[in-house]
Structure 1
């Protein structure tokens, strides 16, 4: 796995750590692409998502050497034949290891670690929030990978549509596919999350329907949680306004 570790220019002792996960198709990009968190005085580690990075920005650099059964183009159905083969099993493992790797740097304060991301990155951050018990905060924006059974029939936008198109060809495999997906549904990881959490949702989002985001938010087990609602936005969500909201919110934790 590859990623970028960005440090505040004047860091001489350990500072809080923000670990960020990318949206669908995105990779770590180029070193100078995203300086928000480092410029706010925090260490910033951005994880490359394996085999992704060609959907925009500066690209990715990590291959996925693991093969899979026949799948619809994209990532949503790779290895969907069984939980142990599914693509996001590897991605979620990468994400937890990314937190561990970033925490090992001498200029990161491991006790003050935040996980965040937008869309796919938001779904990954929820999974990390359920798998890493000692995060100080989690901030999933318009998260993807939530409530697969509902999302797959509610929207015809990609990437969720990949699931329907796969099942359109592989008739009779719906039950098996949904069983595999259930192991990676962010709603179930949310039920394990204990850190303070700030979610966001856009009520006109056709890519990640609002009801699927609220399913994950409602399942989040930690008592200290909030959600920013953007009434008239699609999947772009709050954009720079929500970045400002996260910066304000995180002052209480890191």
Structure 2
């Protein structure tokens, strides 16, 4: 792994020209209003009675997302904690889903409730019935429906993420004033987008090595991960689809969500990350409108700071009045 992007000093000053769609706010206001009006079955929380865990209560959740469609999630509550609880809403990395509830225990151990959101079409438990095939589809989600913002895959997924916040804030075990969105890579990009779309409905954002930022730069320099899928697609369609593809992506760029976010945010970046290059992270971070801090991992690849970043997150949350709750406290 090598340092192939800008120097840290250059990254701190990096503010690329942004061609924001004139109707960006209208597009997302209409998208979310339509999703909320679609209704769907109310959020359902089914206790997992066969869990081997002795200190965590687990619920298998379905809540209404895009089009009112049921989205799977886990709600994990530390047993014995006083309610309502500070809560972390977790979004998942590319091609992953919510997995098993046994994979998500750290936040409970730290005294938080956790709401783990499945990714439609990527996770095992949530299909994507509205998927629009893409000509010359290259095997991932990066180009699915890219011919128009209305049909692009991430319109549906980002809407699900916002609706997850809507759902969890209504649960009686959750303190709606202490909800934090979090994720790494794709999950980081989704946490950033959600923070920009829900305003003060969240109290903080943990945005690790975020994907879905500064697509134009990412297409030029990312050497691994999902962005090469975009390059492959554009290579096939470079005579007639390049401008249209980037027009669609512009509605889903973390740079635009960042300027609309008001919650305090802790970002992280790996300076040797070939998947989400540092300049794409800083392009969003430098535009973030709320209070912001970034953990820089000089020799970090796409894993960033690993467990050391989790330690930074716990410190950062506590400093902002969002500590976990002690059992029985």
Name 1:150's counterpart in structure 2: 217
Superposition RMSD in Å: 1.0
Instruction: Return the alpha-carbon distance in structure 2 between the equivalents of residues 253 and 122 of structure 1.
Output: 22
Matches within 5 A, 1:1-254: 1-53=71-123, 60-70=124-134, 71-134=137-200, 135-171=202-238, 172-222=240-290, 224-251=291-318, 252-254=320-322
Which deviations, in whole Å up to 9, do the C-alpha atoms of 1:149-204 show, x marking residues without a partner?
11011123220001110111123210000000000011110010111110000000
Give the aligned length: 247
C-alpha contact (below 8 Å) 2:203/2:264 kept by paired residues: yes
Instruction: Write out per-residue CA displacement over residues 23-69 of structure 1, whole angstroms, 9 at most, x where no aligned residue.
Output: 1011101011110111111110010001113xxxxxx3111001313
CA contact (8 A) 1:69 1:81 kept: no
Q: Distance in 2 between matches of 1:89 and 1:51?
A: 13
Corresponding residue for residue 56 of structure 1: none
Q: Which deviations, in whole Å up to 9, do the C-alpha atoms of 1:106-164 show, x marking residues without a partner?
A: 00001111001000000000000101111111110000011001101112322000111
Structure of larger gyration radius? 2
Partner of 1:57: none
Q: Find the aligned partners of 1:93 and 1:42 in 2 and give their Cα distance.
A: 24
Give me the TM-score of the superposition, normalised by structure 2. Answer: 0.74
The TM-score, its normalising length taken from structure 1, stands at 0.95
Asked if structure 1 preserves the Cα contact closer than 8 Å seen for 2:131 and 2:153, the reply is no
Distance 2:314 2:187 in 1: 18
Secondary structure of the corresponding residue to residue 176 of structure 1 = helix
**Cα displacement (A) at 1:12:** 4.1
Cα separation, 2, equivalents of 1:3 and 1:95? 11
